[in-house]
Structure 1
């Protein structure tokens, strides 16, 4: 059960005003807001224990190291990784994807095939295109229907013994569609392919179990999960992480260095070169604790109520069209109103304190599929309210009157 007043009191930014109006923050798919406990953890790190980790014998270094590694253990438990060293702390989802894409350069041959989906974020398209350019591999794409659902029959036809990698998002950032990743993973494994799931948009709404999914790689960002920017995770099965070469060289990821030869450190340090975002990693653990205390079942149930209410409310606006009407979706509504450009709508309702996202949402192939320049995207979190949806509705009605 969500105690919305108590939860909103945890987020100081929700008391802010924008253009003289109370902030209505509906851009959660871009980044979530941060509760005070997460902000405090960052301040506490720099105030009381700021020190580099893993290398020092002095007290502050040991305290900082313990706090950072405790966060890794929290993430292991949250995602149900088998080993703590299967959790690599990165700079975010994009960084995590690029670690894997770069690592597979030495594992692919010309003519091997990679599968992605039509509804990918650019960060889950461009690295694989670059990989194909380096290796001569071929990129295949799972199509989707008008409702924003993947065509699984077409996926079956794309799979073959040439398929080496399958990469797709768990949830579409532009449409909110929850993809059938268990079926996708199982079918990919049946032909011997590895699978990476982009969990950037799913993890704020549900709690993935990487062992139950039997996924090879799973990636996510802290800043979508009430944590800070600049930190994320790459989960990888131990055997796959051992196969991949290091992504970059530097301190921490080495075992021994001479001018003749360098040997690399064991997992997870092999992929964690240089001084990491220590405060961010610790705060990520605090954010995970905060969301688990609320409970992901409670979060999902409340956000589904918000989604249903907002969908019904917004469709009362004549000419409003929603893109992405999958039966299984998270609390995201992408829409346009008639021929009005989404940027114009977003600019006007911003004057009324409403924060939404406008544009192609780094998912241009989706916009090309619908033959539109972009959408207005309202994305809801567990700290949003039904009254804020009413405010969005009123602002859209006003914007439509001004722009029609």
Structure 2
């Protein structure tokens, strides 16, 4: 398998991008779907922002270095990668905060309806934000299994909130079909792109999506806690009333008026002062992913994951695949079920193969094709087979749960 992998790497048109990332020696990193690797340019960019823009130009850099327009500029760079117009996307806050803003706004746009429909097992923050609004008397949380979602769209549903690629399994929703179903029922739709933006082809405009949020620190390689991004379809921007009416979302923030007037367009989603260091780091990752292109990245992701599965099969690895077998039906990851998934994950990490674990029994491997090789797939499969065959996962240090997994 290793020789076949090296042959595939030689013919890989994206192979040259691996050197654009600062990868630790001796590590096979299969957790880019949770935290992307560090682009080599990021430390240089941050040093410039800190030493020159902040250190020398100080407050003048809001104008001279373009800090004030960074949320819009980086949002416009993300926009074509998710099928949006440049003025429909802005970088701001976190996914959780943007969910709160957009769910609240959607509820106001559908008076007389309070239900926010999602699925059980959606990423927790999505469900927690709905629950928080429910406790305030503003929303009613409704959950339906994914095969029953379309049937649960009735006259009480104001908003359908779904994650495009499921965080545990990677299973994809049919975004166009469910968006149409929600609209036919008079509801709006909010898509969470945290596990698909920067990795999979997404066309919000083509499918008629109303709102979307996405993560900056996974496939966009913006660094831990990187700012998120939010999408509001042009047709909704004038009607949008978001609840966090901070000064940066004001029509004229430097007029310092006592009364709030929302900024035009998607700018009204801004709240407080943008975290310039975080947005600067994110811009490096966004530029790099845009340069490579979502189409080539997605093609390589599918090839990597299928080759990994082939390597596991040839080594007779007994893991229960819970991701869709068809690569067209899953995100850039593979998830397997095993009763000792946590201990296996820890044993692999000790060998330098970094994947992750999700409760209660999911072993998850992410494929970030910008920096992964086919050789990595062959070697990772070898380590998985050896860990299972040797039983080394039974060691006490691998079975003891840590706070962060």
> What TM-score do you get using the length of structure 1 for normalisation?
0.82
Cα distance in 2, alignment partners of residues 140 and 27 from structure 1:
31
SS of the residue corresponding to residue 33 of structure 1 reads coil
Residue 333 of structure 2 is aligned to residue 332 of structure 1? yes
Sort the Cα spacing of 1:156 and 1:71 in 2 relative to 1 into closer, same or farther, 3 A.
Answer: closer
User: How many Å apart are 1:62 and its aligned residue?
Assistant: 3.2
Contact 1:322 1:333 in 2 (8 A): yes
Segments of 5+ residues of structure 2 without an aligned counterpart are 1-10, 395-405
Contact 1:169 1:198 in 2 (8 A): yes
User: How many Å apart are 1:41 and its aligned residue?
Assistant: 2.4
- Shifted more, 103-112 versus 266-275: the winner is 103-112
Cα distance in 1, alignment partners of residues 119 and 387 from structure 2:
34
SS of the residue corresponding to residue 222 of structure 1 reads coil
Cα distance in 1, alignment partners of residues 356 and 237 from structure 2:
36
User: How many Å apart are 1:98 and its aligned residue?
Assistant: 1.9
1:311 corresponds in structure 2 to 309
User: How many Å apart are 1:201 and its aligned residue?
Assistant: 0.6
Q: 1:161 aligns with which of 145, 152, 155?
A: 155
Residue 54 of structure 2 is aligned to residue 50 of structure 1? yes
1:342 corresponds in structure 2 to 341
Sort the Cα spacing of 1:67 and 1:164 in 2 relative to 1 into closer, same or farther, 3 A.
Answer: closer
> How many residues are paired up?
372
2:42 corresponds in structure 1 to 38
Cα distance in 2, alignment partners of residues 356 and 332 from structure 1:
10
Over the aligned positions, Cα root-mean-square deviation in angstroms equals 2.9
Structure 1 ranges of 4+ moved more than 6 A: 108-111
Please give the residue correspondences for 1:241-260 in structure 2 after superposition, counting only pairs within 5 Å. Answer: 241-254=237-250, 255=252
User: How many Å apart are 1:163 and its aligned residue?
Assistant: 1.7
2:64 corresponds in structure 1 to 62
1:81 corresponds in structure 2 to 84
User: How many Å apart are 1:173 and its aligned residue?
Assistant: 1.5
Cα distance in 2, alignment partners of residues 67 and 170 from structure 1:
29
Contact 1:221 1:233 in 2 (8 A): yes
2:230 corresponds in structure 1 to 234
Cα distance in 2, alignment partners of residues 71 and 331 from structure 1:
23
Q: 2:386 aligns with which of 378, 381, 398?
A: 398
Cα distance in 2, alignment partners of residues 119 and 313 from structure 1:
30
Q: 1:7 aligns with which of 13, 17, 23?
A: 17
> What TM-score do you get using the length of structure 2 for normalisation?
0.82
User: How many Å apart are 1:136 and its aligned residue?
Assistant: 6.2
Sort the Cα spacing of 1:207 and 1:95 in 2 relative to 1 into closer, same or farther, 3 A.
Answer: farther
SS of the residue corresponding to residue 363 of structure 2 reads strand
User: How many Å apart are 1:326 and its aligned residue?
Assistant: 5.0
Contact 1:109 1:135 in 2 (8 A): no
Higher strand share: 1
